Amino acid sequence: MKFIFLSGGVISSVGKGVATAAISTLLESRGYKVAPVKADMYLNVDAGTIRPQ
């Protein structure tokens, strides 16, 4: 069985990375296999394409 946990927000510096690291560490200490991934929405497009003026 696999579980997917998503965290997101609209502003930076809210602590999403710290929370993800803490949850990952807790799950790994209990024997779960964890693979945190940071998705980058600007991977193939730039900000102007996403929100044109």
| pLDDT tens digits for range 2-52 | 888 887 777 777 888 888 899 999 999 999 999 988 876 666 666 666 665
Q: For the chain, what is the domain count?
A: 1
- Whether residue 1 is contained in a domain is answered as no
- Whether residue 40 is contained in a domain is answered as yes
User: To which H or E segment does residue 23 belong?
Assistant: helix 16-29
- Whether residue 28 is contained in a domain is answered as yes
pLDDT at 14: 80
- Whether residue 11 is contained in a domain is answered as no
Q: Pick the closest to residue 34 from 43, 45, 23, 44 (CA basis).
A: 23
- Whether residue 6 is contained in a domain is answered as no
pLDDT at 46: 65
- Whether residue 3 is contained in a domain is answered as no
pTM of structure = 0.62
- Whether residue 22 is contained in a domain is answered as yes
The two structure tokens encoding residue 16 = 């999403």
pLDDT at 31: 94
Report whether 18 contacts 26 (CB < 8 A).
no
DSSP 42: T
Question: Which residue type occupies 23?
Answer: I
pLDDT at 4: 85
The two structure tokens encoding residue 51 = 């929100």
Which structural domain range is residue 23 located in? Answer: 16-50
